[in-house]
Protein backbone atom coordinates (compact mmCIF):
# COMPACT_ATOMS: atom_id res chain seq x y z
CA UNK A 1 0.00 0.00 0.00
CA UNK A 2 1.44 3.43 -0.92
CA UNK A 3 2.83 5.63 1.84
CA UNK A 4 2.43 9.39 1.95
CA UNK A 5 4.31 12.15 3.74
CA UNK A 6 2.12 15.08 4.73
CA UNK A 7 4.00 18.23 5.69
CA UNK A 8 2.04 20.82 7.63
CA UNK A 9 3.24 24.26 6.58
CA UNK A 10 2.73 27.23 8.87
CA UNK A 11 3.82 30.86 9.08
CA UNK A 12 5.58 30.94 12.45
CA UNK A 13 4.87 34.67 12.77
CA UNK A 14 1.12 34.09 12.60
CA UNK A 15 0.69 31.11 14.91
CA UNK A 16 -1.90 31.99 17.57
CA UNK A 17 -0.31 33.02 20.84
CA UNK A 18 -0.26 30.10 23.23
CA UNK A 19 -0.42 27.58 20.36
CA UNK A 20 -3.32 25.22 19.76
CA UNK A 21 -6.37 25.71 21.97
CA UNK A 22 -7.42 22.88 24.29
CA UNK A 23 -10.46 22.32 22.03
CA UNK A 24 -8.23 21.99 18.95
CA UNK A 25 -5.93 19.60 20.78
CA UNK A 26 -8.97 17.50 21.72
CA UNK A 27 -10.25 17.40 18.10
CA UNK A 28 -6.78 16.55 16.78
CA UNK A 29 -6.41 13.81 19.38
CA UNK A 30 -9.74 12.26 18.39
CA UNK A 31 -8.83 12.35 14.68
CA UNK A 32 -5.37 10.90 15.32
CA UNK A 33 -6.95 8.10 17.33
CA UNK A 34 -9.41 7.40 14.49
CA UNK A 35 -6.73 7.41 11.77
CA UNK A 36 -4.48 5.18 13.88
CA UNK A 37 -7.26 2.66 14.55
CA UNK A 38 -8.05 2.66 10.81
CA UNK A 39 -4.48 1.45 10.22
CA UNK A 40 -3.60 4.52 8.17
CA UNK A 41 -1.26 6.49 10.46
CA UNK A 42 2.32 5.26 10.69
CA UNK A 43 3.92 8.26 12.42
CA UNK A 44 3.20 11.90 13.19
CA UNK A 45 4.64 14.75 15.22
CA UNK A 46 4.86 18.50 15.50
CA UNK A 47 8.24 20.15 15.05
CA UNK A 48 10.06 22.56 17.37
CA UNK A 49 10.34 26.19 16.13
CA UNK A 50 12.94 26.98 13.47
CA UNK A 51 14.73 29.13 16.07
CA UNK A 52 15.88 25.83 17.54
CA UNK A 53 16.81 24.28 14.18
CA UNK A 54 19.67 24.34 11.69
CA UNK A 55 20.02 24.00 7.94
CA UNK A 56 22.92 22.15 6.41
CA UNK A 57 23.62 22.96 2.75
CA UNK A 58 25.83 21.28 0.17
CA UNK A 59 26.69 23.83 -2.55
CA UNK A 60 29.41 23.39 -5.15
CA UNK A 61 31.36 20.98 -2.98
CA UNK A 62 31.13 23.07 0.19
CA UNK A 63 29.14 22.35 3.33
CA UNK A 64 27.66 25.18 5.34
CA UNK A 65 25.39 25.30 8.37
CA UNK A 66 22.89 28.03 9.18
CA UNK A 67 21.30 28.20 12.60
CA UNK A 68 17.61 29.12 12.86
CA UNK A 69 15.41 31.04 12.85
CA UNK A 70 15.14 31.17 9.08
CA UNK A 71 13.82 34.70 8.65
CA UNK A 72 13.86 34.62 4.87
CA UNK A 73 11.28 31.84 4.85
CA UNK A 74 7.60 32.79 5.12
CA UNK A 75 6.28 29.25 5.57
CA UNK A 76 8.00 26.43 7.43
CA UNK A 77 7.18 22.80 8.09
CA UNK A 78 5.56 22.78 11.53
CA UNK A 79 4.65 19.12 11.65
CA UNK A 80 4.39 15.97 9.60
CA UNK A 81 2.67 12.64 9.30
CA UNK A 82 3.47 9.44 7.46
CA UNK A 83 0.38 7.49 6.43
CA UNK A 84 -0.43 4.52 4.27
CA UNK A 85 -3.47 4.99 2.08
CA UNK A 86 -4.91 3.27 -0.98
CA UNK A 87 -4.16 6.30 -3.16
CA UNK A 88 -3.44 10.06 -3.22
CA UNK A 89 -7.15 10.89 -2.99
CA UNK A 90 -7.48 9.04 0.33
CA UNK A 91 -4.31 10.66 1.70
CA UNK A 92 -5.59 14.12 0.69
CA UNK A 93 -8.95 13.40 2.34
CA UNK A 94 -7.21 12.63 5.65
CA UNK A 95 -5.18 15.85 5.30
CA UNK A 96 -8.39 17.83 4.72
CA UNK A 97 -9.92 16.31 7.83
CA UNK A 98 -6.83 17.25 9.86
CA UNK A 99 -6.87 20.86 8.64
CA UNK A 100 -10.61 21.09 9.34
CA UNK A 101 -10.01 20.44 13.04
CA UNK A 102 -8.47 23.94 13.28
CA UNK A 103 -10.36 27.10 14.17
CA UNK A 104 -11.05 29.64 11.40
CA UNK A 105 -8.25 32.00 12.51
CA UNK A 106 -5.53 29.44 11.66
CA UNK A 107 -3.76 29.59 8.28
CA UNK A 108 -2.02 26.29 7.55
CA UNK A 109 -1.32 24.21 4.48
CA UNK A 110 -0.85 20.47 4.10
CA UNK A 111 1.50 19.28 1.36
CA UNK A 112 0.87 15.60 0.58
CA UNK A 113 3.58 13.68 -1.26
CA UNK A 114 3.77 9.96 -2.05
CA UNK A 115 6.88 8.28 -0.72
CA UNK A 116 8.72 6.54 -3.52
CA UNK A 117 9.59 2.90 -3.14
Instruction: Give burial (CB, 10 Å; 0-12/13-18/19+) of 3.
Output: middle
DSSP output for 40-98: -EEEEEE---GGG-EEEEEETTEEEEEESP-TT-S-EEEEEEEEE-SSHHHHHHHHHHH
pTM score of the predicted model? 0.87
Domain CATH number, residue 7: 3.30.70.1060
Number of domains in the chain: 1
| Pairing state between β 108-114 and 54-59 | unpaired
Domain residue limits at 52:
3-115
Residue 39: which region, alpha, beta or left (left: phi > 0; alpha: psi -120 to 50)? left
Per-residue pLDDT of 48-102, as tens digits, reads 989 999 999 999 999 999 998 887 778 899 999 999 999 999 999 999 999 999 9
Amino acid sequence: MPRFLTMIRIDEKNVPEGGPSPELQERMGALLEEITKAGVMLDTAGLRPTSEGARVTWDKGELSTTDGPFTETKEVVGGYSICQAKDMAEAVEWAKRFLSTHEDYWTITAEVREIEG
